[in-house]
């Protein structure tokens, strides 16, 4: 029996994405695909920031106090155009300096549509994998999160910044998308103050997920409604475990939940 607090799965780029969970032991999740597994929640949720037990989880596993005060939960994590790290401001200026006043990538990701997004340069390609993209390309590199956010806002006129998680899990992919063409078409339509950040790196990173069979329909599972979740693990995409019958579990959504994991023979 392996137990511990859930955090988003660690990922590694390869011919097939490799996943791992750090519980009481490191669990190589790819090795569990094709087996029956059981995940049982004991009712405890530990805040991902202060580690205190909380009755309810907010955002990415925060207690309410941390949700309204911790820099990791600030609105600029969702809306980078609001970031003030470059001004030496924020909920925790030292944290902001380390994490947001650093180079960021604006990217285009392909799935059923083209999506625009922002991430720290150190989170490439982790961010793309977590979102379940089929492929991605660097569009621009900016000196901080704010500049990346301003560019992203301009790009929302052309592209969505949201992932349709159901289509992603059903592997509905538009294979006709040409990310290089999309990128440089944008270059011709944006003002010079934004195109100055465009990257010359046109490498397209293709992402292949460890999935035996993608579901035709998906049903989201939650420990709050089903404390014991078990089934035949058919694959992993984004931060979701995919079980037989189209049932899926978002690991990241359950950050801080204390669970026990076992393999059912």
Round to whole Å and give the CA distance between 213 and 14. Answer: 19
| pTM tops 0.85 | yes
Per-residue pLDDT reduced to its tens digit, 111-159: 999 999 999 999 999 999 999 999 999 999 999 999 999 999 999 989 9
> What's the average model confidence in pLDDT over 67-80?
96
Q: What is the pLDDT of residues 211-248, one digit of tens each?
A: 999 999 999 999 999 999 999 999 999 999 999 999 99
Q: What is the pLDDT of residues 174-219, one digit of tens each?
A: 999 999 999 999 998 899 889 999 999 999 999 999 999 999 999 9
Return the sign of the alpha-carbon dihedral for residues 118, 74, 5, 94: positive
Residue with tokens 């006043």: 101
Residue 135: closest CA among 206, 183, 208, 201: 206
Which residue has 């805040």 as its token pair? 47
In this prediction, residue 160 carries a pLDDT of: 86
Cβ neighbours for 157, distance < 8 A, ≥ 6 positions apart: none
> Max alpha carbon distance in the chain (Å)?
61
pLDDT of residue 265: 64
């Amino acid at each position: 029996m392996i137990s511990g607090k859930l955090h988003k799965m660690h990922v590694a780029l390869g011919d097939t994405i490799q996943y791992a969970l750090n519980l009481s032991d490191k669990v190589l999740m790819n090795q569990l695909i094709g087996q029956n597994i059981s995940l049982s929640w004991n009712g405890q949720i530990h805040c991902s920031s202060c580690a205190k037990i909380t009755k309810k989880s907010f955002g990415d596993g925060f207690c309410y106090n941390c949700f309204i005060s911790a820099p990791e939960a600030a609105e600029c994590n969702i809306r980078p155009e609001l970031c003030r790290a470059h001004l030496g401001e924020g909920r925790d200026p030292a944290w902001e300096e380390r994490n947001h006043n650093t180079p960021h990538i604006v990217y285009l990701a392909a799935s059923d549509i083209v999506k625009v997004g922002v991430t720290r340069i150190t989170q490439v390609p982790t961010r793309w994998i977590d979102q379940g993209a089929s492929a991605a390309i660097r569009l621009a590199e900016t000196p901080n999160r704010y500049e990346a956010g301003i560019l992203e806002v301009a790009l929302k006129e052309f592209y969505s910044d949201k992932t349709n998680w159901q289509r992603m899990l059903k592997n509905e992919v538009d294979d006709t998308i040409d990310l290089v063409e999309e990128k440089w078409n944008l270059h011709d339509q944006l003002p010079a103050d934004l195109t100055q950040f465009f990257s010359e790196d046109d490498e397209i990173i293709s992402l292949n997920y460890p999935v035996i069979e993608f579901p035709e329909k998906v049903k989201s599972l939650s420990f709050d409604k089903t404390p014991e979740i078990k089934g035949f693990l058919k694959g992993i995409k984004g931060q979701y475990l995919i079980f037989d019958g189209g049932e899926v579990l978002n690991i990241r959504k359950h950050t801080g939940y204390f669970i026990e994991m076992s393999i059912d023979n």
